[in-house]
Amino acid sequence: MGLPVRTFDAVIVGGGGSGLRAALELARADLRVAVLSKVFPTRSHTVAAQGGVAAALGNIEDDNWHWHMYDTVKGSDYLGDQDAIEFMCRRANEVVYELEHFGMPFDRLAGGRIYQRPFGGHMREYGKSPVPRACAAADRTGHALLHTLYQANLKANTQFFVEWMALDLVRDPEGTVLGVTALEIETGEVMILQAKATVFATGGAGRIFAASTNAFINTGDGLGMAARAGIPLQDMEFWQFHPTGVAGAGVLITEGVRGEGGYLLNKNGERFMERYAPNAKDLASRDIVSRAMATEIKEGRGAGKDGDCILLKLDHLGEETINRRLPGIREIAKKFANVDPVKDPIPVVPTCHYQMGGIPTNYHGQVVVPKDGNPEAAVPGFFAAGECSCVSVHGANRLGCNSLLDLLVFGKAAGERVIRDLRDDGAGHRALPKDAGERTRARLARLASQKDGERVADVGAELRRVMQLHCGVFRFPDLLQAGVQKLREVAARAARTEIRDKSRTFNTARVEALELDNLVETAVASLVSAEARKESRGSHDRADHPKRDDANWIKHTLWYKEGNRLDYKPVHTRPLTVESFEPKARVY
């Protein structure tokens, strides 16, 4: 079946922070660009980021990018690529100032400069003590950032395809990426969007876990598309559990609460982080705080009537500070936890939040895969940025407010690289292979004709249960192995889901069934990669291998869908211009 084809210079898949930042760059270059988004762009999950974007502006206290770089390398548990980390930290001020120039409503200091607050793992002088580095708009930084970028794109006349879902990557036999197949959700029409450059900015896949801070839309669509097209996924065993999701609801409570002076208590009213991180305390990195909380709960010191949560105290900050700096948190706590944090602590638990792994890229946003002995050969025509990518700047654990920085820096870098590639490329569009839409056609046909299949909701729920139980904060060898087996069954069930809704118009049942395919790829990649990594590093903590093993495991995992096989590649331990930070014990 030949699908209709529309042709562009570049297609950006995803309208969140990284997609919009890349789009803005391309808009300046007079290229024909299409930005696809499954939801109206300001509904993308960037909108939910709260605490801030990291940049060593030094507006309150002395700070510099090299300290930020050190913190990020240390935070990554030495799995981050130091060239990419240097690149990101050096460009942080530039992208934050630009954002301000676009109109971002940052909070301000008395002198008129951007307000900054301390955040977990961000320290002065190579780990000495917390430094205010998170540039914030109250506790709505992601909302302010996403709306600002959308507005800047309106000004630049970016062409949006709103409520279009990309379904599969189109590659030719040489492996060059030629665009995507996509579904216009409102009409049900499917077509090929052909492009010389395809940029994935599809965000994370936190919806593979039952307890998640993530939006419903975070289903790893880019990861699924890449995996099905033969691209490996990198470091998928590393999932960040945010220390403070509202117990029961999963809704995020920003680390900015602790940045502003809030702290965690166990049922005895003890400020237990002093025991786990004597120096940084509640502002240690997220993996460490989450593990400390889970340990407190496991050892019987959890709060709440079932002893299964921890209390986040902030009433001592005073109503005025809470209203000025944390108004959204007060709103969320009242709505989702039935407490007013001006008076009472918020019950919180570690909750799945962020995917450190993703589609392997270099710091230009080019997707890179092993080929002919080169571990990182660029895939022609293919780029990725933001949470769906693995540059890798976050390694085994991301620092708070480095994600907004990541999507700005690498969204922009990907845009710059696309411009350069297209400028140097005088050739026209490459021919689409005959079977360009075949994978998509087969998936849709299977779904349309499936009889006696299972409900998408049931299979999805089982997938999330398996991940939650088998691949959580603490990981155990037997559970990991059993989980791999269980996911095999889930994958088989997902291949025969049935939907009752056969309408062409805005068929969200079909969308959810197609999303499930992507959740499955992501979940399998995560569990298989986790089962194989026999050490504890960053967010990956194994009971049978409780220590970090630098001799054997300073390497990136690559998972291939075909054959469900793993490969590894070296970590870039050499920065661009400065000395390497050598691995050492990670103490906060």
By annotation, the residues acting in catalysis are: 286
491: left (phi over 0), alpha (psi -120 to 50) or beta: alpha
Whether residue 133 contacts residue 5, with contact meaning beta carbons closer than 8 Å, is answered with no
SS (H, E, C) 436-494: CCHHHHHHHHHHHHCCCCECHHHHHHHHHHHHHHHCCCCECHHHHHHHHHHHHHHHHHH
- The C-alpha atoms of residue 221 and residue 202 are separated, in whole angstroms, by 6
Long-range contacts from 125-130, C-beta under 8 angstroms, 24+ separation: 125/67, 126/67, 126/70, 127/70, 127/71, 127/74, 127/279, 127/588, 129/279, 129/280, 130/259, 130/280, 130/283
114 binds another protein (CB under 8 A): yes
319 binds another protein (CB under 8 A): no
Mapped onto helix, strand or coil, the DSSP state of residue 87 is: helix
What does R_g of the chain's alpha carbons equal in angstroms?
23
Q: What is the DSSP letter of 241?
A: E
Distances (CA, A) of 304 to 265, 345, 349: 11, 11, 11
> Going residue by residue from 460 to 499, which x/- string records binding to another protein, judged by CB under 8 A?
---------------------------------------x
Is 207 or 586 the residue whose CB approaches another protein more closely? 207
Is 481 or 503 the residue whose CB approaches another protein more closely? 503
Using CB under 8 A, which of 20, 47, 84, 227 touches another protein? 47
Is 213 or 397 the residue whose CB approaches another protein more closely? 213
64 binds another protein (CB under 8 A): no
CB of 450 to another protein, least distance (A): 13
Question: What number of CA atoms fall less than 13 Å from residue 494's CA on the CB side?
Answer: 24
Number of H helices, E strands in the chain: 16, 20
Residues 18-37 that bind another protein (CB under 8 A): none
CB of 475 to another protein, least distance (A): 25
From 92-100, 346-354, 372-380, 425-433, give the range in contact with another protein by CB under 8 A.
Answer: 92-100
Residues 254-293 that bind another protein (CB under 8 A): none
329 binds another protein (CB under 8 A): no
147 binds another protein (CB under 8 A): yes
From 42-50, 196-204, 371-379, 383-391, give the range in contact with another protein by CB under 8 A.
Answer: 42-50
> Going residue by residue from 545 to 584, which x/- string records binding to another protein, judged by CB under 8 A?
----------------------------------------
Phi and psi angles of residue 492, each rounded to the nearest 5 degrees, phi first:
-65, -40
Residues 427-456 that bind another protein (CB under 8 A): 455-456
Whether residue 95 contacts residue 408, with contact meaning beta carbons closer than 8 Å, is answered with yes
Question: In this structure, what token pair is assigned to residue 178?
Answer: 């030629």
Q: Please name the amino acid found at residue 23.
A: A
- Total residue length of the chain: 588
143 binds another protein (CB under 8 A): yes
CB of 412 to another protein, least distance (A): 15
Question: In this structure, what token pair is assigned to residue 447?
Answer: 């779904």
Using CB under 8 A, which of 66, 127, 172, 336 touches another protein? 336
- Cis ω for the linkage preceding 392 (within 30 of 0): yes
Whether residue 489 contacts residue 555, with contact meaning beta carbons closer than 8 Å, is answered with no
Question: In this structure, what token pair is assigned to residue 386?
Answer: 């933001």
From 112-120, 221-229, 306-314, 538-546, give the range in contact with another protein by CB under 8 A.
Answer: 112-120
Is 505 or 552 the residue whose CB approaches another protein more closely? 505
Residue 477: how many CB atoms within 10 A of its CB? 13
Is 28 or 101 the residue whose CB approaches another protein more closely? 101
- Cis ω for the linkage preceding 536 (within 30 of 0): no
Using CB under 8 A, which of 248, 304, 370, 433 touches another protein? 248
CB of 567 to another protein, least distance (A): 35
Using CB under 8 A, which of 2, 4, 62, 109 touches another protein? 109
Using CB under 8 A, which of 7, 64, 66, 102 touches another protein? 102
Binding residues vs another protein (CB under 8 A) = 39-40, 42-45, 47-48, 57, 93, 96-98, 100-103, 105-114, 137, 140, 143-144, 147, 151-152, 154-155, 186, 215-217, 248-249, 251-252, 328, 331-332, 335-336, 455-458, 499-501, 503-509, 512
